[in-house]
């Protein structure tokens, strides 16, 4: 607890870093200053993960509801974004995507034409995950499914979606997924322009979510969420129908996750059902737990830290990654129950102890000064 006091300072630092990051990427376009395309791309992907972690933190840190299935909303956003990219690619090349050809189709199914339009796609990216989250959340929260039971059901939901998307008949590319994107906003996919654009957008999205999220948790709604986390029955006995409070936060969280997915897919150039694998959804919880729940800055720091290590290890020593991840989980569970937030709390109390010790040593107990 106590994330409130340090929140604003940590948030300000994060905002400053993000604001510096944006022009740094832009500089690359002008010359050799700044980051390489590969690094810009890595930053962009990590930013998407940070946004995804924030969406989980809204529910977990905010309302005490742990989702182990946010990969679902991330993937929905990703698939919708991929559909738009495939339609725009088709408009240029007039070549039907591989997976449709394999299925013996000669043209896109009719509803794909909706995704010609960028505004309609953006609307779908918010609306479809919102509706899925609403239906699932309504049923679960109304039946008062809470705690680990809710977490397990979210996991099952994601797993079900993965099995569904693995099927070729579902019509979204099955096992292989969708790839072969051509351009993003006219900039060729994989090029420096697209990378800078997408990374800038992702960073700005994190920035907006951070500022918006910080504002949200200071409102009456934010306090209601905290009340749900602390003692949901008490809030209900005060006359608040917590179903609607939880449901609105849940739907908002799903939409943020979908935006992250929609930004992520053009950066990696492919989407397949592996995003729906429960292991990704579990990993998001690890990011948030490592950084510290509540207040969003912990989620960002955790997501960035874990993923930077992952990117580095997956090049340097890929087989080590599961062990490093497990170690991180153990460390958080055993030593830092509130993630890195605890570390800053502790260093503070250590500093305070040290200060007190030094003061005391001046008076009577010199040996305490050491510790």
> What is the binding site for other proteins (CB under 8 A)?
1, 4, 219-221, 223-224, 226-227, 229-231, 233-241, 244-245
Helices (DSSP H) in 31-70: which residue ranges? Answer: 37-57, 63
Phi-psi region of 189 (alpha: psi -120 to 50; beta: other; left: phi over 0): beta
Contact status, residue 274 vs residue 282, Cβ threshold 8 Å: no
Q: How far is the CB of 293 from other proteins (least distance, A)?
A: 12
The string of DSSP letters for 207-226 reads HHHHHHHHHHHHSHHHHHHH
Give the HSE-up count for residue 333: Cα atoms under 13 Å, Cβ half-sphere: 8
Tokens 């993630």 identify what position? 339
Closest C-alpha among 72, 83, 77, 81 to residue 110: 83
Q: Compute the distance between CA of residue 254 and CA of residue 256 in angstroms, rounded to an integer.
A: 6
For other proteins, give the closer residue by CB, 84 or 229. Answer: 229
Q: How far is the CB of 60 from other proteins (least distance, A)?
A: 14
Q: How far is the CB of 233 from other proteins (least distance, A)?
A: 7
Q: Compute the distance between CA of residue 81 and CA of residue 264 in angstroms, rounded to an integer.
A: 9
Cα 351 to Cα 305, 342, 354: the distances in Å are 25, 14, 5
- Mapped onto helix, strand or coil, the DSSP state of residue 364 is coil
Q: Compute the distance between CA of residue 253 and CA of residue 281 in angstroms, rounded to an integer.
A: 14
Query: Where is 188: in which H helix or E strand?
Result: strand 187-188
Sign of CA dihedral 295, 67, 330, 225: positive
For other proteins, give the closer residue by CB, 199 or 242. Answer: 242
For other proteins, give the closer residue by CB, 248 or 361. Answer: 248
For other proteins, give the closer residue by CB, 284 or 288. Answer: 288
For other proteins, give the closer residue by CB, 62 or 174. Answer: 62
Closest C-alpha among 107, 106, 123 to residue 115: 123
For other proteins, give the closer residue by CB, 158 or 253. Answer: 253
Q: Compute the distance between CA of residue 92 and CA of residue 187 in angstroms, rounded to an integer.
A: 13
CB neighbours of 333 closer than 8 A, spacing ≥ 6?
none
Q: What is the DSSP-derived secondary structure letter of residue 238? A: T
For other proteins, give the closer residue by CB, 69 or 222. Answer: 222
Q: How far is the CB of 58 from other proteins (least distance, A)?
A: 15
Tokens 């800038």 identify what position? 200
For other proteins, give the closer residue by CB, 129 or 294. Answer: 294
For other proteins, give the closer residue by CB, 189 or 249. Answer: 249
For other proteins, give the closer residue by CB, 91 or 238. Answer: 238
């Amino acid at each position: 607890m106590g994330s409130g006091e340090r929140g604003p300072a940590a948030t300000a630092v994060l905002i400053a870093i993000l604001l510096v990051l944006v022009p740094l990427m832009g500089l690359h376009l002008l010359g050799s200053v700044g980051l390489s395309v590969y690094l810009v791309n890595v930053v962009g992907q990590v930013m998407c993960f940070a946004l995804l972690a924030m969406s989980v933190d809204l529910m977990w840190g905010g309302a005490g509801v742990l989702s182990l299935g946010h990969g679902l909303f991330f993937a929905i956003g990703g698939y919708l974004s991929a559909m738009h990219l495939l339609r725009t690619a088709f408009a240029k090349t007039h070549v039907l995507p591989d997976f449709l050809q394999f299925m013996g189709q000669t043209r896109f199914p009719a509803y794909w034409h909706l995704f010609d339009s960028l505004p309609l796609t953006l609307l779908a990216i918010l609306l479809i995950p919102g509706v899925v989250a609403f239906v699932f959340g309504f049923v679960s929260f109304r039946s008062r499914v809470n705690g680990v039971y809710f977490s397990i059901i979210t996991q099952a939901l994601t797993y079900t979606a993965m099995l569904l998307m693995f099927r070729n008949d579902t019509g979204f590319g099955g096992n292989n997924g969708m790839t072969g994107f051509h351009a993003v906003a006219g900039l060729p996919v994989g090029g420096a322009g697209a990378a800078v654009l997408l990374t800038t957008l992702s960073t700005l999205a994190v920035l907006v979510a951070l500022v918006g999220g910080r504002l949200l948790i200071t409102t009456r709604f934010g306090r209601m969420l905290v009340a749900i986390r602390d003692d949901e029955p008490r809030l209900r006995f005060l006359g608040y129908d917590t179903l609607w409070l939880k449901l609105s936060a849940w739907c908002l969280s799903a939409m943020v996750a979908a935006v992250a997915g929609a930004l992520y897919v053009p950066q990696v150039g492919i989407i397949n059902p592996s995003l729906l694998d429960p292991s990704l959804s579990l990993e998001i919880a690890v990011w948030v737990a490592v950084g510290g729940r509540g207040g969003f800055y912990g989620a960002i720091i955790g997501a960035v830290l874990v993923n930077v290590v992952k990117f580095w290890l997956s090049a340097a020593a890929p087989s080590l990654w599961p062990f490093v991840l497990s170690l991180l989980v153990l460390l958080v569970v055993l030593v830092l129950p509130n993630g890195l937030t605890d570390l800053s709390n502790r260093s503070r109390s250590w500093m305070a102890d040290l200060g007190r010790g030094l003061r005391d040593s001046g008076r009577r107990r010199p040996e305490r000064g050491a510790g």
